[in-house]
Amino acid sequence: MAALAWLLIPLFAGVGAGLWGSWAGRNRKTGGDGPELAGYARFREAMEKPRSHT
């Protein structure tokens, strides 16, 4: 019986690793790069403006 337990431990670990791998590799639906690109465009515009000495 103890030998069966030692054989089941790697089996459960393999099944768990397979489940985790399928979960980690899933396609995630995100908002895309729109907000990040818009923020970067605003940053570039701000950096290109001439400095005013006040």
Q: Give a three-class secondary structure readout of 11-45.
A: HHHHHHHHHHHHHHCCCCCCCCCHHHHHHHHHHHH
Give the amino acid at 11. L
What is residue 27's predicted lDDT score, i.e. its pLDDT? 79
Give the amino acid at 29. K
pTM passes above 0.95: no
- Return the biggest CA–CA distance within the chain: 84
Task: List pLDDT tens digits, range 27-41.
Answer: 777 666 777 888 999
What is residue 14's predicted lDDT score, i.e. its pLDDT? 97
Residues with Cβ within 8 Å of 14's Cβ and at least 6 positions away in sequence, in order, are none
